[in-house]
Structure 1
Amino acid sequence: MHCKQMKLLDVWRICNKIRSAIFRVGFNLWDYYLPLDPHKNCLISESAFVSVLSGSLRSTIGLSDYEIGELTDYFRVQDGRIFYTQFCEVIHDSIPEFSKNANLVTGLEWEDPLHVNRLSTSEERRLSLLITKISVQVNLRKLVLRPFFQDYELVAKNNGTVTIAHFARVLAYLDITVSSDDFNLLVKKYMKDSYTLNYVAFVADIEATVDYLERHGCLDLGGDIMSQFPGRVINAELPKLPRPEIGKIMAASVFGKQSIFHPALNAPSQRQSLLEIIRRIQRHVLENRIRISDFFEGFDSLGSGKITASQFHRGLDAVGISGLQRLYISLPEIKTISIQYQDPIDPTRVCWKTFADDIDQVFTVKNLERAPMLQVASPPREVKELPKRGTKSWDNVNPSMRDLCEETVEKVKNRIMRRRILLKPVFRNYDKHNNGHVSRSQMRQSLLSNGILLSDEELYALEERFNDDMGFNYFWFLKEAEPKPHEEALFTGFLEAMEKVNAEKPCKPVDRSEKDIILILAKIKGKVVRERIRVIEFLQDYDLCNQQVISRENFQRGLSNCRFDLSEAEVETLMNVFSSPMRPGCVDYKRFSEVVEEAFTQACMERAPLLMPKQHVPTKDCARNFLNFDERRTFSIGIQKLSKKPDLQMNLMSIFKDYDRTNCGTISQEHFLKALSLRGMYNLISRTEFDMICKCFSFERGLRDEIDYRAFIKALDILYATDKYNPF
């Protein structure tokens, strides 16, 4: 009984092993055994049963021969066949099908896709105002929020939820500015599973709010909340409590003490004049190269030159935030401009065309064609010298304060020179935005940390001079306080070098050969024969009227295109020789071309049919292969020695051709020496004679001198033939 029990346990373990493989891979044993039983009698042979488990399914299930034998013994009937249907039922019928089971947890709150958490009454009111504000921004910008969250869901498979970090990144990407308290409120409302947010419920609340506002007529045509709407959301950027100190901070005395919340001590703040506002807009438009009419033409569909006050307000906002710098225009300033350019017929509209013309005067003056003698200054002096916002007119300041400021700046300058102090790195540590401004307290700390001790009166004088609406302008302060040594411009040396390059070259003495027309024509003919150039093709393009003559300037241009490498004296000689007798200042290029063409043929050959023309043979003589008397004598002795063994006997040409792979007729001096050594001719001459032979037959190719071996072989043949038939 004990052995039987162990066998059954082994069979059950083998069946569990097959079940795990079926659950992992997903195959069906019926598909393998039913084709082996065509009579449907539920029995197959033992070999067929074993072939399935040890064949195609062996690598999938991983059964050993012993395990297959145990299964075969267990499911074998009396006649020796295998009861495979019982085996398949044991394997497949014991696997639970979870898809057919009903849900054990239904109706719970967290299964709802729009599930949100509960908040207190005050938090719900804050959340409603926040959702309304976000909905207005989404409606104004025509945003669709769902795709931004679904991109994350396609990757993470979170089924309608995103992480808190991704939710914050989406809001930041859409420029939906939310404070930390408001963001914590959103997280508290839409939190799910303790680490994700239900963005489906958030988007549904935004869409429902937008539908409610549109359905009840709370939005204007621009998509913003109407000003008459009693439940209009307060802008979160405005202060929640009154701030009486804004705009009323002023100095109570020359000691720099300031009085805040004391209206009796403060003078009434003066509004900025309309002219200064217009100049600041002109300065902003000039610096950023803005065409201001582009911001208002979209609102004026009929081209009447007039738009509503709200549209004019939006246009000014767009002008202020465009460009590289931001121009802040407050509501009172916008109202002042709107009143100035108000339509006299319809008070609700603004003449934007007139406003744009006034602003564009910073570039030019309208209808300038009617006053051609008018001198236009662009930009105007008033706009160019406009001080920054918040600075005082230094000419209108008390003279005692101005003198004190100058003395303070000079004092700081002397202290910096004596102690070799660098103030700019200290100021830069406080200037996180790199806009050239620090606060008043940071300015005092920077001076104090460098040992520059100033009194309250002196510090206040510096603030009066260098303060603006952004703070203390330390760029301007260091420009006057830090002494800079005189440094020579970096381009000075380069400028001197360019002046030397572009300076007129000294006149060289004219060589006698440059005045010889025969040598000049021989040089041109040699160039023409070697490179096959037609000179008339380069010159006749300048003769538009076919007058057979061209100007001297055009003649020089044509010769430069031919690349004859002629000097100025040689060109001048050609122009004097071929000058036109009937047209002063012109050159008879036709006659010059015919003379050059004589290198190939002769003119009027039809009158002498029996005459055989001879082509010009260009010489290769130059300054490189010129030999004096002693060198010619040495060369003559050496070539006479080599002519005793001509090419017919030594077969030098075959060696030279082996070294001349490009078949250009020249080889290097090393190959020339090797060729003479191979034929034993180098031993006949000395080293000096060899150098003279190389110099005589040298030919410039590229950046080195090579040997014209063809001319050398020809010279040897001529000398051998001359010596052979010499009777003496």
Structure 2
Amino acid sequence: MPHCKEFKLGDVWRTCNKIRAAIFRMGINLFEYFQPLDPNKSCLISESQFISVINGQLRATIGLSEQEVKELADYFRVPDGRIYYTQLCEVMHDSVPQFSDNVPLVTGLEWEDPLHTNRLSISEERRLSVLLTKIASLVNMRKLILRPYFQDYELVSKNCGTVTMAHFARILAHLNILLSADDFNLLVKKYVKDSYTLNYVAFIAAIDQVVDYLNRNGILDLSGDVMILFPGRVLNAELPKLPRPEIGKITAAQLFGKQSIFHPALNDPKKIEHILTTVSMIQAHVLKNRLRICDFFKDFDPLNCGRITLSQFHRGLDALVLSGKQRFFLSLPDVEAVINQYRDPCDPSRVCWRTFEDDMDQAFTVKELEKTPSLKVESPPKRVKELLNPGAKNWQAVNTPTRDLCEEAVDKVKQKILHRRILLKPVFRDFDKYNNGHVSRSQMRQALHFNGILLSDEEIFALEERFNDDVGFNYFWFLKDVDSSNAEPLYTQFVTDMLKLNAEKPMEKPTRREQDIVQIMAKIKGKVVRERIRVLEFLRDFDRCNEQVISRVDFKRGLSVCKFDLTDNEVQTLMQVFASPLRKECVDYKRFSEVVEESFSQQCLERAPLIVPIQHVPTRDCEKNFLNFDERIVVSMALQKLAKKPDMQMNLSSVLKDYDKTNCGTVSQTQFLKALTLRGMSNLISKNEFDVICKCFSFERGMRDEVDYRAFMKALDIIYLTEKYNPF
């Protein structure tokens, strides 16, 4: 027809591309619109249904004209007039890329990092570092926590770690952190994000990092501000405009060494030694009397700020040194030295008693041990342990002749005590009425003369120089050096013998019998059957976690409680056979108990009810009653001779029972020979045959070998009955 438009394939594909773009943009699934119209799953719908979906439900999304819809229907129409909609859907969806199935090529983008900040120039970075240091010192000094102030805004705005510039400025003003316009613009330039918000998470992280650095390097004082003694103190957020005279005059030790607030470097070594000695004396007094420092100072500090006035600290220190059983004296210069050592650097009229308490408590332990669990604490410290008493001389500083003379005197007293077996302590204790370990000089001389120890005046003077202090002659130290003789105690040999007796014997080379698991289990089963022992009850207590295995040490202990009389090599064989397959250092005691219980019954009898279990018959055979071939022939001939007459005629058993007073079933070889002689049976066998019979029926009881006469009589009865009813 001349008025009809010519059908072109390019127009249809242009329409398909239009639908494909809408599907990709809006995420539409065409199957969800067409499948409800096709309940029979025939993949075909009518033309009216197809047009109603395209022009009705998807018209606002795709926006096709009537001509485009008609061309699309003509293209996917089948000969019977229906539309093949599944082909259309497959053409549309197969060409759409599935981005969710692909692995992302780019990860960790800068705008995804919560601590992302912008880059500044070198000068701006330096200005920002100075500004952050000042803000960090203010935050630390006021004990501020910045995060809650920003999180309150985030709970309302639902932002991800960002706040607006106006709210950031309001928070800083609320916290009384006053910044100039240039400083605020610098912060905005560093932490701005998305052109109108600030990354407060990165800002707080930077402040925390600066505070941690200041605390770690000892730059902050007790008030939280930057230390005055710190050479790199930040004076202003602006760069200095005048030349700084301190540049180049600071030593490397002051610049890089750790600055200490309470222990400044003093120029006088005598003052350093004086304060260290005083502190060590107070630590020794606190350690000896077990005093708690805070009990003497906390009442003066009701606000618990850690600082009190000079007079209050002096009063508390006086109460401290006067407490305990043994009072301690501090002179006024000593008190002033302690006060100057712990004076507050920010307020010279106060003393930091908390720091004093921490230093004194080091005599017992180290604070914050949970942070360094591997630290080995020395209690008391070496300086406190080796502290000299007041008035005592440093023996290393005394001249050499006096020290040599003192050593000779001490050695002479040692030899006297060693040869005469003298006890000096009771004599000194009689003079020491207050039990403080000191006596006077005259009492020391009397104690030595009383025990017949004669020394010259020079030697006694050398001893006094060594052991005298402000209280008197320290006889505790003197006896410690004198009584430390090398005399061997009388019980040394006894202790040595006991150690040798209880020492673990080396493992001997196992024999073939000790490695035979069959013989070892027969030995254990015989013991279990005879004494009715339940092995599981002795081993189960070692399995506290019910793991069905126990360690080798516990297994050996359990077997020793059962009294199986096993050698070490036999126990090692058992542990190797019954070792757990997954844990070689453990033993599967459950399997071992089941094997031992087979001597009474058989496992899993419920699966085979017709099987009759056979109980294990224990044997008393051992290596001592083992007979070779020749000995077995001799025993056989001897028993045949003795079995000619039955027991009813000879009545041998009654005689043997008379010898068996305990009714244990065994008699000695002498008693066995007497019984045979009494019944006239000893003449039937030779001496060699008698010895072989005793060896065949021997049984070890106690420390000797006896004869099992019950087994002997039973063997005679069997041989007699066998020959009696033997037709041949």
Normalising by the residue count of structure 1, what TM-score does the alignment of the two structures yield? 0.46
